[in-house]
Amino acid sequence: MSIRSQIPLLEALAALDDRIRIVDEDLGLRKGGLKDLRAEVEDLERRVTTSRESITSMEKTRSDLSVEVRQMNNQIEKSREKLARSRNERESLAAQREMEELRKLLRDREDEIQKVDGLADRARSSMSDSETRLAELKKELEGDAEGVAKALADREKERAELATDRDVAVKSLPPVLYRRYETIRTRRPKAIAKTHDGTCNGCHIAVPPMMFQKMLEQEVFEQCPNCKRILYYVAREAPAGGGADT
């Protein structure tokens, strides 16, 4: 069985394990009773508040950095004009040094903006997940004990169905690969990761170039040197109307 044919099977198993983990966590909360549910609601409310404050702070930081970028662009333009008006070599060199220093500062600020944007996007995603979960729990808490019991029974039924699906998924994988997967899963909730550019999407650390070149051949599964997840190459999804990366 080729790696290309094993990848979707491995991803299907990982997706099932992720769903089972979520169901198990939810079952644990439900079995803990309404007290635990209320405690999680309070925790999620704190998370949402903290995320919202963090996002507001990052948006202000980004705004301040953007103002600095505009100011530096204006200063660079003035330095360019000064260079054009320079009357001797000394003035010309001074203007050039000034422009280089400003350009370096400008690149630094632009890099900072990119980092802030990335952090803000992750914070928004985390807040959205927390808000979704919070809404679900609040709706559940509005019900009575009978509703909680029914929800628990539904979740247990879902857990049993997922376990059956998992058994089927396990049988579709080569035993050696499955054992490797399970060994990693004892240490990490998710045992697999993929890359399209040489960076593991599990830990966001770049793998050695030689390893990435080998992965492009898709002959064997590699293991991320940093997070130890099973790592494999997939081409980046092409934008609408474009071609896929290799």
Boundaries of every domain in the chain: 1-29+158-236, 32-142
187-229 pLDDT, tens digit each = 988 999 999 999 999 999 999 999 999 999 888 899 999 999 9
CATH number of 1-29+158-236: 1.10.287.1490
Instruction: Select the more confidently predicted residue: 44 or 31.
Output: 44
The tokens describing 5, both together, are: 């044919």
**pLDDT category of residue 3 using cuts at 50, 70 and 90:** confident
Please name the residue ranges forming H helices in 86-208.
Answer: 89-141, 145-171, 175-185
Q: Convert 57-93 to b/e letters by CB count within 10 Å (16 or more is b).
A: ebeebbeebeebbeebeebbeebeebbeeeeeeeeee
Q: What is the pLDDT of residue 143?
A: 64
166 burial type by CB count under 10 A (0-12 exposed, 13-18 middle, 19+ buried) = middle
**Cα angle, residue 35 at apex, residues 31 and 36 outer, rounded to 5°:** 60
Give dist(CA 94, CA 80) in Å, integer: 11
168 burial type by CB count under 10 A (0-12 exposed, 13-18 middle, 19+ buried) = exposed
> Mean pLDDT over residues 97-125, rounded?
90
50-81 pLDDT, tens digit each = 999 999 999 999 999 999 999 989 998 888 88
Give dist(CA 135, CA 41) in Å, integer: 9
The tokens describing 73, both together, are: 């662009």
Helices 89-141 and 34-85, interaxial angle, to 10°? 160
Q: What is the pLDDT of residue 246?
A: 38
**Cα angle, residue 132 at apex, residues 9 and 239 outer, rounded to 5°:** 50
| Amino acid in the structure at residue 123 | A
Q: What is the pLDDT of residue 231?
A: 95
Instruction: Select the more confidently predicted residue: 2 or 121.
Output: 121
Which residue in this structure is represented by tokens 């054009």? 84
**Does residue 144 carry a pLDDT above 70?**
no
Task: Tell me which fold the domain 32-142 belongs to.
Answer: Helix Hairpins (1.10.287)
The tokens describing 176, both together, are: 């050696």
The answer to whether 59 and 120 are in contact (CB under 8 A) is: yes
Q: What is the pLDDT of residue 236?
A: 80
Do 1-29+158-236 and 32-142 fold alike per CATH? yes
CA atoms 44, 16, 199, 195: torsion sign: negative
Q: Give the CA distances from residue 66 to residues 13, 109, 120, in Å, rounded to whole numbers and listed in that order.
A: 44, 8, 15
Mean pLDDT value across the chain: 87
Instruction: Select the more confidently predicted residue: 32 or 76.
Output: 76
